[in-house]
C-alpha cells in the first residue's frame, strides 16, 4: 500500500477476498475477485449495472445465502477466518457485519423500537435508552427525533429513514458496515448529510459502499474498486474486478483504459 494514504499506520485487512467466484445456480455472477478491505476506511465499489458489485457486498455478510442456488468459490475471510467455513454461523456473523440497504427500510415500529430491535435479539442487558440515544447521535438523527421516539419510523422523511437505518445498524455495535447504494433513493441534501455522516462513522467502523454515483465515490471513499461486465463465450454476462487502488488514483490516473472511460463518464 502506498505511503500517501491518509491513515498513518499501515492498515490492517478486515475482509480478504481471494480469487472468489460467485454463482447463482449455473449462472456465474462474479469471477476471480481478489480484494482486500482495509480497516476503518471507506471502500467504494463502483461499476456499471450488472457488474456484480452488490453481489460481492452481500457475500460479506452472507445475505446471499438466502438466494436459492447461490454458491461461492475461492476464499473470503474476515480477520483471517474463512467466512464460508462450516463452523461460521451466518446469524452471528451478521451482528459483526451490518448492512444498510438501497431503499430505506425501517421496521413498521417506533423509532425507539427500530433501534432497540437488534440489541434485544441477543438480550442486551445494558441501558437501552442510553444505547438508543448514542446510536441516534452517531447517525446525526438525535436532534431531529429526540422528542418523538415513540413515533412510527415510517413517518420520517426518506433521508431521516436512511439515517434511522444506519442508527439501527450501529446499535448492534458491528465492526463493518456494508452500504448498498444508500443514497440512490434520496434527494441531494439528504445525500450530502449521509456522506458527511460516513466520514464520522469511519472513525469507528470499516465501511464498504456500493454506489452508482462516481462523484460520491470520489468524495467519500479512501479506496475504490472498479468492476465491469464482460460477455462470456456462451453469451452470458459475468462481473470482474478491473482495478482496485486508492480512490485518488482510480479517478486521476487509472491504469486500465476501461476504468478511465468509466470514471470520465464515457459509459456506464
Partner 1 sequence: MSSPRTLFAIGMTGLTFLAAAIALLILVAILSYVVINGGSRVSLDLFTQLPPVAVIKTGGGFGNALIGTLMTVMIAVLLSVPFGILAAIYLSEFGRETLFSSIVDFLTNVLSGVPSIVVGVFAYGVIVTKTGFSLKLGFSAIAGGVALAVLMLPIVVRTAAEALESVPNDVRQAAIGLGATQFQTVFRIVLPAAIPSITTGVMLAVARAAGETAPLILTTLFGYSWINSLIAPPTPTLSVLVFNFATGPSRNQQQLAWAASLILVALVLITSLLSRLAIRRKV
Residue ranges that bind partner 1, judged by CB under 8 A: 61, 63, 66, 68, 91-95, 98-99, 101, 103, 105-109, 117-118, 121-122, 165, 168-169, 172
Provide, rounded to whole angstroms, the least separation between the CB of residue 174 and partner 1. 9
Provide, rounded to whole angstroms, the least separation between the CB of residue 169 and partner 1. 7
Residue 100 to residues 22, 103, 246, 264, Cα–Cα distance (Å): 22, 9, 23, 28
Q: Which is nearer to partner 1, 66 or 231 (CB)?
A: 66
63 three-class SS: helix
Provide, rounded to whole angstroms, the least separation between the CB of residue 181 and partner 1. 13
Q: Which is nearer to partner 1, 165 or 197 (CB)?
A: 165
Q: Which is nearer to partner 1, 103 or 134 (CB)?
A: 103
Residues 6+ apart with CB under 8 A from 141: 160, 163, 164, 167
Residue with cell 462474479: 30
Is 156 buried (19+), middle (13-18) or exposed (0-12) by CB count in 10 A?
Answer: buried
Sheet holding 70-78: strands in order across? 81-82, 70-78, 13-24, 27-38, 237-246, 223-231, 42-46, 206-210, 176-180, 97-100
Q: Which is nearer to partner 1, 123 or 235 (CB)?
A: 123
All 3 cell numbers of residue 33?
475477485
Q: Which is nearer to partner 1, 116 or 223 (CB)?
A: 116
Provide, rounded to whole angstroms, the least separation between the CB of residue 135 and partner 1. 12
Judging by DSSP bridges, how do beta strands 42-46 and 206-210 pair with one another? parallel
Provide, rounded to whole angstroms, the least separation between the CB of residue 13 and partner 1. 23
Is 39 buried (19+), middle (13-18) or exposed (0-12) by CB count in 10 A?
Answer: middle
Q: Which is nearer to partner 1, 1 or 121 (CB)?
A: 121
Provide, rounded to whole angstroms, the least separation between the CB of residue 91 and partner 1. 5
- CA 45 to chain CA centroid, Å, is 9
Provide, rounded to whole angstroms, the least separation between the CB of residue 63 and partner 1. 6
Q: Which is nearer to partner 1, 116 or 250 (CB)?
A: 116
Amino acid at each position: 500500500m502506498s505511503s500517501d494514504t491518509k491513515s498513518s499506520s499501515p492498515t490492517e485487512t478486515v475482509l480478504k477476498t481471494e480469487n472468489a467466484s460467485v454463482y447463482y445456480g449455473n449462472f456465474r455472477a462474479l469471477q476471480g475477485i481478489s480484494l482486500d478491505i482495509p480497516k476503518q476506511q471507506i471502500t467504494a465499489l463502483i461499476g456499471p449495472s450488472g457488474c456484480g458489485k452488490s453481489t460481492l457486498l452481500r457475500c460479506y455478510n452472507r445475505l446471499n445465502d438466502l438466494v436459492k442456488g447461490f454458491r461461492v468459490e475461492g476464499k473470503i475471510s474476515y480477520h483471517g477466518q474463512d467466512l464460508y467455513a462450516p463452523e461460521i454461523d451466518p446469524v452471528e456473523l451478521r451482528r459483526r457485519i451490518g448492512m444498510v440497504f438501497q431503499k430505506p427500510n425501517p421496521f413498521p415500529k417506533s423509532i425507539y423500537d427500530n433501534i432497540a430491535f437488534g440489541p434485544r435479539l441477543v438480550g442486551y442487558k445494558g441501558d437501552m435508552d442510553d444505547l438508543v440515544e448514542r446510536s441516534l447521535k452517531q447517525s446525526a438523527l438525535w436532534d431531529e427525533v429526540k422528542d418523538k421516539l415513540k413515533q412510527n419510523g415510517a413517518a420520517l422523511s426518506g433521508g431521516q429513514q436512511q439515517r434511522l437505518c444506519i442508527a439501527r445498524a450501529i446499535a448492534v455495535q458491528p465492526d463493518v458496515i456494508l452500504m448498498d447504494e444508500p443514497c440512490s433513493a434520496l434527494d441531494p441534501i439528504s445525500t450530502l448529510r449521509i456522506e458527511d455522516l460516513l466520514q464520522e462513522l469511519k472513525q469507528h467502523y470499516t465501511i464498504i459502499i456500493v454506489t452508482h454515483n462516481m462523484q460520491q465515490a470520489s468524495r467519500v471513499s479512501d479506496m475504490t474498486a472498479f468492476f465491469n461486465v464482460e460477455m462470456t463465450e456462451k453469451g452470458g454476462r459475468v462481473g470482474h474486478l478491473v482495478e482496485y487502488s486508492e480512490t485518488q488514483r482510480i479517478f486521476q490516473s487509472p491504469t486500465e483504459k476501461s476504468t478511465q472511460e468509466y470514471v470520465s463518464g464515457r459509459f456506464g
